Amino acid sequence: MFSNGSKEPTYRYLSSLLGCAAITVIAAISSLLLISSPHHTAQAASGFVTRCGIHFCLNGQLFYYAGADSYDIFTFGDGSSSSTQDDIENKYMDKAAIDAYFSNAQSDGITVVRTWMFDHETWHGFEPSKGVYNVAEFDEFDYIIQSAKAHNIRLIPVFENYWEAYGGIDTRLQWEGLPTGQSNRWRFFNQQQCPGCFTQYKNYVSYALNHVNHYSGVAYKDEPTIFAWELMNEPRYENATPDESTTGTTLRAWVDTMGAFIKSIDPNHMLGTGLEGQGTAYGYGGNSGNPFVYIHQSPYIDFTSAHFYPTESWANLSMSQAQQVINKWVSDSHNVVGKPFILGEFNSRSDAGNRTGWWTMFYSTLEQDDADGDNFWMYVARNPDSIYGVTHGAPELAIFMQHSQHQQQKSGGSPGTGTTPTPGVTVTPTATTAASPTPTPWPTVTPTPTPSPTPGVTPTPTPTPSSGLSCRVQYVITAQWPGGFGASISITNTGSTAINGWTLRFTFPNGQTITQGWNGSFSQQGSTVTITNLSYNATIPAGTTLGSAPGFNGTWNGTNSPPTSFTLNGVTCSTQ
């Protein structure tokens, strides 16, 4: 969360303990880590949530969620008493406050909490000085995981902050002797400018992923309570060069580098970017070197994200305009990028009025667009922010709880069925979706959503003649579950001339069948698949990789080996 298209908070929460009366109530209603609510069906330890095409899956079935953000749960406790393990367990961290937070969140229908796992300050710092990791703070995060698990809540920990709160990347730049502040933060993502920043980030992430929870004995990389990791809160690479604010080249390279590194250590969990999703293409904010589609097309990223504050003065959107922004984010995520979408932060200002109307619009639009998850900013237990803070018992939570029920009702079906058809797909699913309970009708919303236009499916360019064509193809299985899988196909023009119009062909070795595709017009005869470009991704310049890469969901039985040979416009491509 924040500034000029974001809103970095200017306050800093102070350490405080709950009053004795509150602790007495907590003790009376729960035993340590044994609280559960029978009406919440998500079992936080039952398996890893994975990506299955354009949606999430849990144990082979669709998984939708309704969640919230926490700004400060890792600071519950005095943050200084760490001389002995007993001090850490009983003073440094406030277990009763952590348990109360998750107990309230569970009763309010929250199933996923996005929270910080960064802080470079002395108080509650994860890494208060370069390469020094605070064991006491990781012990507290161990307890946060245990309490979340006990309350059937999953977590999205964020590794670092672009903004200055809790130190952020300014601190890492300072450790390398480089200038700080928003005008200099681009240096963090540029390996030539700050090679030490790359090393620092990798070292911290490696420590966190391999850290073993001292309560459960489970390393973070093996903990199913973790829904996904996020690379950073709201990364940007703006105004570094004349074109970087629109191309996103350097930030994408950083995302690819760190994504590959994280996946090499932790193949279990999904990975997100933490992106805001701002850009002139969406009529929300400006171009900041982090284009929504291109950054999220990284093969190491499992879902897209956006942060939305339409009532901020710099945004000043009406409800109908805000709906159109959400429509386009979800459409681009599902139909162009080919991945699930979460609205990772959003809210309306309390002083803008009509929060009930705004929340009704947010959730009804997300449901109509078949978005996959959402986290409102922010669910707080103490020192609430008067502009965006939402506490247990807030009236707007009645709207949220209804949405949470709808998300749970949508969960549990078979992936690849029951979703909005994707442009360019000629093969249709044959599976039948199980009937879902009829959702409770939403209150009437005045604005009518205006769906974003979908890309045309009729390619206009004539395919480039095969003479002189040279290409490389990378086929990646992005997710796999019993009987189903998702895959993406990267196409690189290794020749010296542009490819204008393309047709890709390959043959499945094990009888796999495509059920849903994106970024191409798909047809399948037996085991042979033909994919033809759409109008918006027909051209592949010389020496470049196709940005809007084709991808698909499919079925398999017994073995799911990848194709071994690909032809592009009749020419055999090399593979990697």
| pLDDT tens figures, 99-115 | 999 999 999 999 999 99
Same domain, 379 and 518: no
Q: What is the pLDDT of residues 123-175, one digit of tens each?
A: 999 999 999 999 999 999 999 999 999 999 999 999 999 999 999 999 999 99
What pLDDT, on a 0 to 100 scale, did the predictor assign at position 435?
A: 29
Contact call for residues 162 and 234 (beta carbons, < 8 A): yes
Q: Which region among 180-184, 404-408, 456-460 has the lowest average model confidence (pLDDT)?
A: 456-460
Pairing type for strands 566-568 and 503-507 reads antiparallel
> To the nearest 10°, the Cα dihedral for 178, 182, 185, 186?
-120
Same domain, 120 and 37: yes
Q: What is the pLDDT of residues 433-476, one digit of tens each?
A: 222 222 222 232 233 233 333 333 333 444 545 568 999 999 98
Contact call for residues 325 and 337 (beta carbons, < 8 A): no
Q: Where do we find the tokens 């969406």?
A: 282
- Max Cα–Cα distance, the chain, nearest Å: 80
Mean predicted lDDT score pLDDT of the chain: 84
Same domain, 386 and 486: no
Q: Is 260 left (phi over 0), alpha (psi -120 to 50) or beta?
A: alpha
Asked if the structure places residue 2 within a domain, the reply is no
Same domain, 388 and 475: no
How many domains would you assign to the chain?
Answer: 2
For residue 444, the one-letter residue type is: T
Same domain, 256 and 380: yes
Q: Nearest-CA neighbor of 523 among 508, 505, 502, 542?
A: 505
Question: Higher model confidence: residue 337 or residue 43?
Answer: 337
SS3 category, 155: strand
Asked if the structure places residue 78 within a domain, the reply is yes
Contact call for residues 567 and 573 (beta carbons, < 8 A): yes
Asked if the structure places residue 447 within a domain, the reply is no
Asked if the structure places residue 444 within a domain, the reply is no
Question: Higher model confidence: residue 551 or residue 35?
Answer: 551
Asked if the structure places residue 345 within a domain, the reply is yes
Q: Check whether 29 has a pLDDT greater than 50.
A: no
Asked if the structure places residue 433 within a domain, the reply is no
**DSSP tag of 219:** B
Strand partners, 69: 114
Q: 143 lies in which domain range?
A: 20-45+63-407
> Which residues have C-beta within 8 Å of that of residue 433, sequence separation ≥ 6?
413, 414, 417, 418
Asked if the structure places residue 58 within a domain, the reply is no
For the entire predicted model, the pTM comes to: 0.71
Query: Tell me, what CATH number does 526's domain have?
Result: 2.60.40.290
Asked if the structure places residue 397 within a domain, the reply is yes
